């Protein structure tokens, strides 16, 4: 038996053992790519998966490639790789001259010369590719192609069992619910267990919005003494936002430690985006969708008035003046997302001096506790093709609702699409959305009034107020005196 064949056998043996162990799906995939790179004696190996739209490929598990290379952006399926996705093995002899390479310069800096890729298929359907990168110019042999194809099949098994785990984790009644969206592939890497329940809550929230996520995707070395002596593995990576998220815990000591690590990571890897999310942040996030400890609070009340009724009205008039000026002669369609926006929309429209159409859409987060998607429950009735849309929002928080709604509206081919929001909770933004008109920037607090509710209450307040937990009933009544 040749030395290489022995190496392949050993690698496949290690992989089989890993697949049969109780490590997480993402750990299994990392082991597969590492063992593959070693067995083939190449610089690196990467498993790239297609996103839900099958438009882009992103590195999901990789070995031997620099952070810089991995973060080079996603591969656009249109531009290259159509061959692999067409279920073929693709060999690139020299990245410097091959037109199929999207990041030629970076690949050269990374000292990659030849690449071999094979499709990763789950039950016949291509879900991604497995690539190996060689420093030297290399013509891969048929035996090497065969080996890589075998590893691709093993990776598919891991991905497939990830999908099974996910179904098992859902409550029984949600299992049969038809999903209008395919499950994002990254969610198939959902680990069998999360280190902390709050991480599972967060993953669920991301699923609501169809935001792709990968759990503990990558470890960063923070200190070296010859080899890495301190590593940091952020909890999540959100490919669509190119953002790492680390959850903090309730233990203050640990939080300090995490803060230090995040600071250090930012120093060492300035191109990496990372956000620290505190427990109270995602409790509040989840509360909006009816989940978590804050959502179930029985006694509650209105706290301080943040924006008085006259302040709100004055600002709405100013916004209307700007909008009237900008939309002169364009007869825009105002589109509001129900229900929080109805007060603002009504006032804004009455202050506008240009003729407008008005329509609303409603969305819901469906699937209950295990919700999988944002769904449009009532769509805009007006034909939006070629129209100038002004999307009117009550409040933009993480920006995830807005980015969903915007892509929905864009699909209807308007002539233009702009956003006006009364309130902007900018500090909490996760999705990168552009706001054209903003009434007020507001702090990171739960707000009620002027259309905004807490469990359907407080919408009728003419001002915007801070919501407080555990307030006695009498204070609620006090707050309601401001009504006139
Ligand atoms: P996002 O997707 O930007 O995180 O959330 C936007 C939606 O969450 C808003 O349209 C609104 O319905 C709700 N929301 C966000 N922040 C608040 C808040 O402070 N109070 C209330 N009542 N709703 C909020
Ligand atoms: Mg809203």
Domains of the chain, residue spans: 3-168, 185-277, 304-469
- Could you check whether the bond before residue 339 is cis, i.e. omega within 30 degrees of 0? yes
Which of helix, strand or coil describes residue 224?
strand
Which of 345, 341, 337 is CA-nearest to residue 361? 337
Instruction: Give distance in angstroms: CA of 287 to centre of ligand 1.
Output: 10
As a whole number of angstroms, the longest Cα–Cα distance in the chain is 89
Instruction: Give distance in angstroms: CA of 227 to centre of ligand 1.
Output: 46
Chain-wide mean pLDDT for the chain? 80
Mutate which of 335, 365, 452, 459 for ligand 1 pocket (most atoms within 8 A of beta carbon): 452
Q: What is the structure's pLDDT at 374? A: 77
What's the rounded Cα separation, in Å, for the pair 116 and 135? 12
Q: What is the structure's pLDDT at 250? A: 62
What's the rounded Cα separation, in Å, for the pair 438 and 178? 38
Q: What is the structure's pLDDT at 55? A: 63
Determine which one of 397, 424, 444, 478 is catalytic: 397
Instruction: Give distance in angstroms: CA of 396 to centre of ligand 1.
Output: 6
- B/e letters for 404-416, b = 16+ CB within 10 Å, e = fewer, are bbbeebeebebee
The whole-angstrom distance between residue 147's C-alpha and the CA centroid of its chain comes to: 34
- The domain made up of 304-469 has a fold known as Rossmann fold (3.40.50)
CATH 1.10.3430 fits 185-277, yes or no: no
**Is 77:50 a contact under the CB 8 Å cutoff?**
yes
Q: Note if 397 is an active site residue.
A: yes
- Dig out the tokens for 286 from the structure: 């989840």
Q: What is the structure's pLDDT at 476? A: 42
Q: What is the structure's pLDDT at 14? A: 92
Q: What is the structure's pLDDT at 474? A: 45
What's the rounded Cα separation, in Å, for the pair 124 and 273? 36
Closest atom of ligand 1 relative to the 425 alpha carbon = 16
Whole-structure pTM over 0.85, yes or no?
no
Is residue 398 within 6 Å of ligand 1 at its C-beta?
yes
Kindly identify the ligand whose nearest atom is closest to the C-alpha of 341. Answer: 2
Mutate which of 280, 401, 424 for ligand 1 pocket (most atoms within 8 A of beta carbon): 401
Identify the residue whose C-alpha is closest to ligand 1 atom 9: 395
Is residue 380 within 6 Å of ligand 1 at its C-beta?
no
Q: What share of the chain is helix, strand, coil (3-state, %, to 5)?
A: 40, 25, 35
**Is 5:12 a contact under the CB 8 Å cutoff?**
no
**Ranges under pLDDT 70 in the chain:** 51-56, 71-86, 162-193, 208-210, 249-252, 286-301, 366-373, 468-484
Q: Which regions of 308-450 does DSSP assign to beta strands (E)?
A: 333-337, 357-366, 373-378, 388-396, 416-424, 437-441, 447-448
- The CATH superfamily holding the domain 3-168 is GAF domain (3.30.450.40)
**Is 464:312 a contact under the CB 8 Å cutoff?**
yes
Mutate which of 340, 374, 428 for ligand 1 pocket (most atoms within 8 A of beta carbon): 340
**Is 127:156 a contact under the CB 8 Å cutoff?**
yes
Closest atom of ligand 1 relative to the 445 alpha carbon = 19
What's the rounded Cα separation, in Å, for the pair 149 and 131? 10
Kindly identify the ligand whose nearest atom is closest to the C-alpha of 423. Answer: 1
Instruction: Give distance in angstroms: CA of 132 to centre of ligand 2.
Output: 46
**Is 275:243 a contact under the CB 8 Å cutoff?**
yes
**Is 159:25 a contact under the CB 8 Å cutoff?**
yes
Q: What is the structure's pLDDT at 366? A: 65
**Is 249:278 a contact under the CB 8 Å cutoff?**
no
């Amino acid at each position: 038996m040749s030395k290489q064949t022995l190496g392949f056998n050993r690698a496949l043996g290690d992989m089989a053992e890993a697949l049969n162990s109780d490590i997480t799906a993402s750990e299994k995939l990392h082991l597969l790519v590492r063992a593959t790179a070693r067995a083939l004696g190449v610089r690196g190996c990467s498993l790239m998966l297609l996103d839900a739209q099958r438009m882009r490929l992103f590195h999901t598990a990789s070995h031997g490639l620099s952070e810089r290379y991995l973060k080079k952006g996603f591969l656009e399926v249109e531009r290259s790789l159509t061959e692999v996705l067409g279920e073929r093995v693709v060999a690139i002899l020299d990245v410097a001259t091959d037109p199929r390479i999207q990041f030629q310069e970076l690949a050269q800096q990374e000292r990659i010369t030849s690449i071999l890729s094979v499709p990763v298929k789950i039950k016949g359907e291509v879900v991604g590719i497995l690539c190996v990168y060689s420093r030297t110019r290399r013509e891969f042999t048929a035996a090497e192609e065969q080996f890589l194809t075998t590893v691709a099949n093993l990776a598919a098994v891991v991905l497939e069992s990830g999908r099974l785990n996910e179904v098992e984790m859902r409550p029984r009644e949600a299992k049969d619910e038809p999903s209008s969206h395919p499950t994002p592939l990254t969610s198939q890497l959902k680990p069998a267990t999360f280190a902390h329940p709050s991480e599972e809550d967060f993953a669920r929230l991301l699923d609501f919005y169809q935001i792709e996520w990968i759990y503990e995707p990558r470890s960063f070395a923070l200190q070296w003494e010859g080899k890495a002596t301190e590593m940091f593995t952020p909890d999540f990576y959100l490919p669509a936002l190119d953002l790492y998220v680390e959850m903090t815990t309730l233990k203050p000591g640990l939080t300090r430690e995490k803060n230090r690590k995040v600071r250090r990571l930012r120093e060492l890897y300035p191109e990496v985006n990372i956000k620290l999310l505190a427990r109270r942040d995602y409790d509040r996030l989840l509360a909006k969708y009816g989940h978590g400890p804050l959502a179930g609070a029985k006694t509650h009340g209105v706290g301080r008035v943040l924006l008085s009724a006259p302040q709100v009205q004055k600002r709405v008039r100013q916004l209307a003046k700007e909008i009237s000026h900008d939309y002169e002669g364009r007869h825009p369609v105002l589109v509001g997302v129900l229900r929080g926006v109805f007060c603002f929309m009504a006032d804004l429209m009455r202050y506008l001096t240009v003729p407008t159409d008005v329509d609303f859409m409603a969305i819901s987060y469906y699937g209950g506790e295990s919700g999988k998607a944002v769904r449009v429950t009532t769509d805009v009735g007006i034909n939006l093709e070629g129209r100038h849309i002004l999307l009117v929002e009550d409040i933009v928080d993480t920006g995830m609702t807005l980015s969903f709604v915007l892509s929905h509206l864009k699909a209807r081919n308007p002539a233009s699409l702009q956003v006006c929001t009364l309130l902007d909770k900018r500090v909490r933004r996760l999705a990168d959305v552009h706001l054209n008109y903003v009434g007020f920037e507001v702090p990171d607090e739960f707000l009620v009034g002027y259309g905004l509710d807490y469990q359907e209450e407080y919408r009728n307040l003419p001002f915007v107020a801070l919501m407080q937990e555990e307030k006695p009933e009498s204070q609620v009544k006090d707050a309601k005196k401001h009504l006139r």
